[in-house]
């Protein structure tokens, strides 16, 4: 019987111990996602490079294997201020710390050490893919007239792929309904002291995900990060925003964007120090737009970006 690609389910749970997978459950650990891409088997090969008295492929020997999954999750709150959002487990797996202030907010900021791991179970219409010791990276996209979302990519240790029935009791209640990006739903934003007409803000954390295979150890490592971004704004006057000087002098600017107005579904993206790079012009609806590259810098360390859910 043919398998339906859209009949899928992803479960994710923090994994306390390396090498020992957690046991995510459909009722507590389901991830509401979209646009999934699964690479069920990533294999590295060593060439045999044999010399023989005839031509032909000498063959390859597999020397390393792991799994990869990419997917998107809508960027929405937790429903109640001070509760961790349902996607918090994914942020922790992408080298973010989670700081909960009960009744107020939950803050995510990147960390350098003690990166957590997650166990991921992905069901595709009767086929189960288990990934343990997984670590990842994340992109953020807030674009006008669109749905704000995060794009995740995880790699991890591949467990045997098996036949398995879809679990029952799947619960997505922790994922509250997202709201679209527009003037009323996204009330404030700024770059430095300037605020005007913003079309989009995107950020790529660019965690350097490395699959290391050594004698005695193997696994996913986040060895570095180089976060970048891009923003598109309606072209201001130079008096309003002197972007040529900012680019020429490599002057860092703080960027803040708030999406949502109702407690429990407010997301604030705060960038401490963004170097503005690669300005270009574009056009939207016959209006001149300014595209600005962003190179996110640490200010005091582990503060290139801060995501506050409140």
Rounded mean pLDDT of 265-275? 98
Rounded distance, CA 18 to CA 57, Å? 39
CA separation for the pair 73, 35 (Å, rounded): 9
**pLDDT of the residue at 102:** 95
**pLDDT tens sequence across 23-62:** 999 999 999 999 999 999 999 999 999 999 999 999 999 9
- Report the phi/psi class of residue 46: left, alpha or beta, with left for phi > 0 and alpha for psi in -120 to 50: beta
Q: Which two tokens mark 165?
A: 């029935």
- The helix (H) or strand (E) run that includes residue 245 is helix 243-248
Per the CB < 8 A criterion, the answer to whether 97 and 114 are in contact is: no
pLDDT in tens, 141-187: 999 999 999 999 999 999 999 999 999 999 999 999 999 999 999 99
Helix (H) or strand (E) holding 90: helix 88-92
- Residue bearing tokens 């009960």: 102
What is the pLDDT averaged over residues 103-128?
Answer: 97
**pLDDT of amino acid 157:** 97
Top pLDDT among 108 and 2 is at 108
CA distance 49 to 300: 51
pLDDT at 304: 97
d(CA 105, CA 100): 6
8 Å CB contact between 83 and 263: no
Q: What percent of the chain has pLDDT over 90?
A: 98
Full-prediction pTM beyond 0.85? yes
Asked if 121 contacts 33 with a C-beta cutoff of 8 angstroms, the reply is no
At 243 the pLDDT is: 97
Q: What is the DSSP letter of 302?
A: S
Please count the CA atoms within 13 angstroms of the CA of 192 that sit on its side-chain side.
Answer: 12
Mean pLDDT of 111-125: 97
Ordered by start, the domain boundaries in the chain are: 8-309
Dihedral, CA atoms, 13, 16, 19, 24, nearest 10 degrees? -20
The answer to whether residues 88 and 105 touch, using CB atoms and an 8 Å cutoff, is no
Query: Rounded CA gap, 115 and 120, in Å?
Result: 16
pLDDT of 1 over the 80 cut: no
Mean pLDDT, rounded, for 201-218? 96
Query: Distances from the Cα of 100 to the Cαs of 81, 88, 310, in angstroms?
Result: 10, 11, 10
CA distances from 150 to 147, 209, 238, 264, 292 (A): 10, 17, 33, 18, 20
pLDDT band at residue 253 under the 50/70/90 scheme: very high
pLDDT confidence tier of residue 4, bands split at 50, 70 and 90: confident
pLDDT grade, residue 2 (50/70/90)? Answer: confident
Q: What is the pLDDT of residue 3?
A: 84
pLDDT at 305: 98
Sign of the Cα torsion 163, 170, 176, 118 reads: negative
Q: Provide the percentage of residues in the chain whose pLDDT is more than 70.
A: 100
259 within 8 A of 77, measured Cβ to Cβ: no
Average model confidence (pLDDT) for the chain?
97
Spatial CA neighbour of 33 closest among 153, 117, 137, 119: 153
């Amino acid at each position: 019987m043919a398998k339906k690609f859209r009949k899928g389910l992803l479960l994710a749970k923090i994994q306390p111990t390396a090498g020992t997978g957690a046991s995510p459950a459909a009722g507590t650990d389901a991830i509401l996602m979209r646009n999934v891409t699964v690479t069920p088997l990533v294999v590295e090969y060593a060439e045999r490079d044999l010399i023989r008295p005839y031509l032909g492929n000498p063959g390859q020997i597999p020397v390393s294997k792991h799994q990869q999954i990419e997917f998107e999750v809508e960027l929405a709150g937790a429903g109640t201020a001070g509760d961790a959002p349902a996607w918090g487990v994914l942020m922790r797996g992408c080298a973010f710390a989670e700081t909960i202030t009960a009744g107020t907010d939950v803050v995510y900021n990147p960390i350098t050490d003690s990166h957590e791991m997650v166990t991921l179970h992905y069901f595709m219409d009767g086929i189960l893919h288990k990934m343990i010791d997984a670590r990842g990276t994340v992109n953020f996209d807030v674009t006008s007239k669109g749905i704000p979302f995060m794009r995740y990519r995880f790699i991890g240790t591949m467990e045997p792929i098996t036949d398995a029935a879809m679990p029952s009791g799947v619960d997505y209640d922790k994922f509250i309904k997202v709201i679209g990006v527009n003037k009323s739903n996204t009330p404030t934003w700024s770059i430095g002291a300037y605020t005007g007409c913003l079309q989009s803000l995107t950020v790529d954390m660019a965690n350097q995900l490395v699959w290391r295979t050594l004698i005695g150890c193997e696994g996913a490592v986040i060895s570095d990060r180089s976060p970048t971004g891009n923003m598109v704004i309606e072209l201001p006057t130079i008096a309003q925003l002197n972007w040529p000087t900012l680019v020429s002098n490599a002057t860092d600017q703080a960027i803040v964007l708030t999406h949502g107005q109702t407690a429990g579904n407010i997301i604030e993206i705060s960038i401490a120090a963004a170097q503005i790079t690669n300005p270009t012009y574009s056009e939207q609806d016959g209006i001149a737009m300014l595209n600005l590259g962003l190179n996110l810098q640490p200010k005091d360390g582990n503060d290139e970006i801060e995501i506050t859910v409140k």
